[in-house]
Amino acid sequence: MLLSLGMLMLSATQIYTIFTVQLFAFLNLLPVEADIIAYSFDNKTGNFDDLPARFGYRLPSDGLKGFLIGARPENACMPIEPPPRADNASGAFIVLIKRFDCNFDIKVLNAQKAGYKAAIVHNVDSDDLISMGSNDLDVMKQIDIPSVFISEETANSLKEDYSYDKGGHVVLMPDFSLPLEYYLIPFLIIVGICLILIVVFMITKFVQDRHRARRSRLRKDQLKKLPIHKYKKGDVYDVCAICLDEYEDGDKLRVLPCSHGEPLGHVLNSSEL
Closest by CA to 68, choosing from 134, 177, 150, is: 150
pLDDT of residue 209: 82
Query: Which pLDDT does position 187 carry in this prediction?
Result: 73
| Integer Rg of the chain from CA | 39
pLDDT digits (tens, 9 = 90+) for 208-250: 888 776 666 666 666 566 666 666 665 656 556 555 566 566 6
Phi, psi of 232 (to 5 degrees): -145, 155
- For residues 127-149, average pLDDT: 92
Lowest-pLDDT range of 33-37, 113-117, 162-166, 179-183:
179-183
Q: pLDDT above 90 covers what percent of the chain?
A: 40
Residue 4 confidence (pLDDT) above 60: no
% of the chain at pLDDT higher than 70: 59
245 SS3 class: coil
Strand extents, DSSP E, the chain:
36-39, 45-48, 51-52, 64-70, 92-98, 118-122, 147-150, 169-172, 228-230, 252-255, 261-263
Would you say residue 267 has pLDDT above 50? no
- Indicate the average pLDDT of the chain: 77
Does residue 109 or residue 248 have the better pLDDT? 109
